[in-house]
Chains A and B, each alone.
Chain A
Amino acid sequence: MNIELSRRAFLQTAGAGLAGTTLGALGFGDIEAAHAAAIRAFKLANTTEARNTCPYCSVACGVILYSKGDLRKGEQAEITHIEGDTDHPTNRGTLCPKGSALLGFVKAPTRLQQPMIRKPGADKFEPTTWEDALDRIARLMKDDRDQNFVATNNDGVTVNRWITTGFLAASATTNETAFETYKVVRSTGMLVFDNQARV
């Protein structure tokens, strides 16, 4: 966070310093003030920065997210710009044709907005609520597990497995999401469990 703040502070002071020194030194006092007032504030100086890494390939280039609003202060924050992180040892500020267009991924028109359900045989999705969707998932999981859980195999060995329900984990979620997912899935006895590394 310190680096983020200092970078932002740098942008702000750099703008002020330019007006204060270059023109001021030449003795154009009033003109300088009028001129400074006419210069539009540098857009990024009014944004909050967050350090992140590109979610696409495994080079994991450093990126900086610029937002209107500050999440850390509990505000709504809208990302307005994404660029390469010049401090990052791997990419040193550069991005590829995919990473350069990351803002379009964050703001894609096909980002999902709310839980949806498609009933058997239906030809469209209908909106549902988080409560209803999660209750339904937990209910069906429990019913299936109770019906199909295998406690012992034919030789009487304790096996405690559940193989009629499966889980396919991701490829770009965090390690923390991964570990919590591992806990939740494995504690049910699920064996049909893989992630994108398989393919």
Chain B
Amino acid sequence: MTNSWTDIRNTDLVVIMGGNAAEAHPCGFKWVTEAKANRGAKLIVVDPRYTRSASVSDLYAPIRQGTDIAFLLGLINYCIENDKVQRDYVKAFTNAGYVVKQGFTYQDGLFSGYDEAKRDYDKSSWDYEIGADGFAVVDDTLANPRCVWNLLKNHVAVYTPEMVERICGTPKDKFLKVAEMVAECSSPTKAMTSMYALGWTQHSKGSQNIRAMAMLQLILGNIGVRGGGMNALRGHSNIQGLTDVGLMSNLLPGYLTLPNEKEPDLAAYMSTRGFKPLRPNQMSYWQNYRKFFVSFQKAMYGSAATPENDFAYDYLPKLDVPGYDVLRAFDMMHQGKINLYLCQGFNALQAFPNKQKITASLSKLKLLVVMDPLATETARFWENHGAHNDVDPSAIQTEVIELPSTCFAEDDGSLTNSGRWLQWHWAGGTPPGEAKRDTWIMAQIHLRLKELYRKEGGAFPDPILNLHWPYADPGDPTAEEIAQEINGRALAKVTDTADPTKVLAEAGKLLPGFAALRDDGSTSCGCWIYSGCFNEKGNNMARRDTDDPDETGAYLKWAFSWPANRRILYNRASADLNGKAWDPDRKVIEWDGAKWSGYDVPDIAPTAKPGEVGPFIMNPEGVSRLFTRGMMRDGPFPAHYEPFESPIVNPVAPNVRGNPAARVFEGDFRQFAEPASAEFPYAATSYRLTEHFHFWTKHVIVNAVMQPEFFVEISEQLAAEKGIAKDGWVRVWSKRGSVTAKAMVTKRIKPLTCDGKTVHIVGIPLHWGFTGAAKKGFGPNMLTPYVGDANIETPEYKAFLVNIEPVSGPVA
């Protein structure tokens, strides 16, 4: 989230699209009802199902899953056509006036530089004209036909209300009502917030779904303001933290990236990072990249990271592919190329697409290790549970070790919520049986590996032998010790670069924040964006002061919010070019002639003059991007692509199937149904229920009682057409598998008309399996396709094709 849960109270309009906060984030959704009750805010819900969020909305518009970009670009088109744009914001704070190179084109669904064989683009034409002064060429009048604003205008022109209706199935009058309400928020004194979740991410173009809304929010001037923002409602309690700390194939903590094999040394690595400003006077904060990186290496390798060895640069593995994401990992496993796999609190068998492929892959491992508080299906993938897990244990040669770990109630530490608040929690109970904390388990594995390498030698033991391990009890590090390591420490005296007489931190002391980081090895810091979380003032994540001056919802003294305890990202953009709040009633920070101050920690250098230094300090432009240059794999603008399995052919680009830049493994393509398939005519989507949390709460008796049994949800029309009775049994199958379930026949789902064709929707909730207190059941992942988003490889769980028929009684 750019903003926080408690900030939603400040909004005028909530758009829930790609999510269902009332059911999936109920206590956060209360801030929506608060805004409705106290400010007269309105709520719009756009969803294939009439959800509980929709049931309290002011306006509900149905949409076919996988067509959000067409809808959102339709809204942008409407705003531009009707001059509902916050012009001053767009001109000053976005790259609307930046001139794009000759050679950039978009035609028939493809941007310039497409290579069909590689399913990838040569992105060299997706960039700005660079002037003789080395800076990007900008036309402040927006007259240049090749400036971003005019290219965008042309790009979205095809998404008329009629085209939106044709693609999305949203009736034109409903779409226009949404557009009118959204367009009102182009006023500097109106704010709209976007609340989205997996309904946007779990598509082969998930990243571009989010970009499309971010662009709309920029055009309306809603980024950086109270009650505005792009608010990703993260799924799990520490998904945000695990990502911030960089536990992904290609990441280092704090959104630094792992080197690839074309970067043999630190100089080569730094040459493509640490961006120089593209416009005069801009902060371009990634210029400090080397400080973050070197301090991280010092946290990892302590005294073994020296200026002479490029701070142990060779200790980091180098990538040969963009990343070993889970889809690539399980495809490799399927080919027998992975021997050992360790799952820490992650139920892969239930969570990943195409369960048959996942089972086959796990069956090829030599060893599977599962650390979990609960008995998961993954740890028992080899166990026969009839139709629900139809395997022959004797044919599976994988050794499985299951390790009992503690749960939240039995350990101390911090979790990062969706609003970037790091909140400390304390253990209340003794772990059951022999269950152990994950910190203990990981330390034990490391110490054993280290001892084996010390005794026996072996392949490049240096990073294991030299891993910095400064804990009082090496076998059981405490949460406080690690939190301090993450925050960072001065290894030598650190002084202010502007005034060397001013000491920022004495040697050995905790650093006050990331501004004190250095690139000469004199500081260590595990995760730069978290620096300040645990400094000499104490554990700031444990703060519990609820003081909130003027009730802005900032709560600056509650816990710690990254970065630098800032609650609203890009908050400099809440003020105009002179530094005055766009909306005096919704001030965040203002310029007093000498410095920035207000209700939040300014997201700009405190003395950076308005009018000179742009608000988007992480970007070398200093402004936000309506056109992303070559930073996304599938285009500098979003474009509508159908899901890989789609009930109609793409109306705007009939020759393009799916997202043309999405990676598809060979065997998986053969397992996709054809577009507009007669064999699989129905558009399926997966979803969650308010009574359950993923695959955890089926272990909880209360929740198992509330929602005991797997079902699929269909419309009355489809039920009538197929002769399916309410609560009758059905079989649902895709090209990858088959499930049986009770049919819930509802009015919440209605058939849509897309491109002149009736499209029926089948809803498939995901909470069941074969362990726990609930009845055994299937889930959508028996059916889902094995393909991910082009940029980040999140699987396309939300849009695929199935068939359905009534069957007689339970089969299992």
Q: What residues make up the interface of A, taking CB atoms closer than 8 Å to B?
A: 3, 48-62, 65-67, 69, 71, 76-79, 82, 87, 89-91, 94-102, 104-106, 108-125, 128, 130, 133-142, 144-146, 148-149, 151, 153, 155, 157-199
Contact = CB atoms under 8 A, between A and B. Distances in A.
A181 B438 contact: yes
B407 A55 contact: yes
Interface string B517-541: 0000000001100100000000000
Nearest to A123: B393
Given A153-B261, A166-B324, A184 B445 contact: yes
B466 to A, nearest CB: 8
Interface string B381-400: 01110000000011111111
Given A53-B415, A165-B341, A110 B772 contact: yes
| Closest CB pairs A-B (n = 4) | A174-B413, A65-B428, A113-B433, A170-B345
Interface string B295-338: 00000100000000000001111111000111011001100011
A174 B411 contact: yes
Contact of A187 (B236, B300, B374): B300
B706 interface: yes
Nearest to B352: A199
A122 B30 CA distance: 50
A157 B400 contact: no
Interface in B218-275: 233-249, 253, 258, 261, 264
Given A59-B418, A119-B399, 12 more contacts: A50-B428, A52-B428, A57-B234, A105-B700, A110-B699, A157-B318, A164-B340, A173-B344, A180-B477, A184-B467, A192-B249, A193-B247
Contacts of A62: 423
Nearest to B772: A110
Contact of A138 (B5, B372, B452): B452
B10 interface: no
A175 B415 contact: yes
A171 B237 contact: yes
Contacts of A91: 27, 30
B238 A178 contact: yes
Contact of B317 (A56, A112, A137, A161): A161
Contact of A175 (B6, B416, B418, B449): B416
A139 B315 CA distance: 22
Contacts of B444: 130, 134
B414 interface: yes
Contacts of A135: 448
Contacts of A117: 399-402
Contact of A97 (B248, B432, B558, B690): B690
B425 interface: yes
B247 A159 contact: no
Contact of B415 (A60, A111, A144, A185): A60
B402 A125 contact: yes
B509 interface: no
A168 B343 contact: yes
Contact of A58 (B235, B382, B458): B235
Interface in B425-484: 425-430, 432-439, 441-446, 448-449, 452-453, 456, 458-460, 463-464, 467-468, 477, 479, 482-483
Nearest to A169: B247
Contacts of B344: 167-170, 173, 181
B631 interface: no
Contacts of B439: 176-177, 180
Contacts of A125: 400, 402
B700 A108 contact: yes
Contact of A52 (B393, B409, B793): B409
B590 interface: no
B360 interface: no
6 contacts: A57-B28, A58-B239, A137-B445, A163-B337, A192-B328, A194-B325
Interface string B590-617: 0000000000000000000000000000
B706 A179 contact: no
B778 interface: no
A97 B482 CA distance: 33
Interface residues of B, number: 161
Contact of B703 (A51, A101, A160): A101
Contacts of B714: none
A123 B393 CA distance: 5
A27 B794 CA distance: 72
B369 interface: yes
A116 B555 contact: no
A149 B461 CA distance: 11
Contacts of A55: 237, 407-408, 415
Given A69-B430, A104-B701, A171-B236, A195 B242 contact: yes
A170 B351 CA distance: 12
B795 interface: yes
B317 A138 contact: no
A96 B691 CA distance: 8
Contacts of B421: 60
A190 B317 contact: yes
B507 interface: no
A195 B241 CA distance: 10
Given A115-B403, A159-B261, A187-B300, A172 B345 contact: yes
A155 B320 CA distance: 12
Nearest to B405: A112
B780 to A, nearest CB: 12
Contacts of A112: 372-375, 402-405, 432-433, 435
B492 interface: no
A57 B24 contact: yes
Nearest to A69: B430
A52 B425 contact: yes
B454 to A, nearest CB: 11
A159 B238 contact: no
* Max chain A C-beta neighbours (<10 A), residue from B325, B340, B351, B795: B340
Contacts of B114: none
Interface string B50-93: 00000000000000000000000000000000000000000000
A194 B329 contact: yes
A119 B551 CA distance: 59
A175 B693 contact: no
B717 interface: no
Given A179-B482, A188-B449, A166 B338 contact: yes
B426 A98 contact: no
* Max chain B C-beta neighbours (<10 A), residue from A94, A115, A148: A115
Nearest to B347: A196
A130 B400 CA distance: 14
Given A117-B401, A159-B320, A186-B300, A196 B434 contact: no
A146 B458 contact: yes
B448 A101 contact: no
B339 A165 contact: yes
Given A187-B315, A189-B460, A174 B238 contact: yes
B300 A183 contact: yes
Nearest to A89: B555
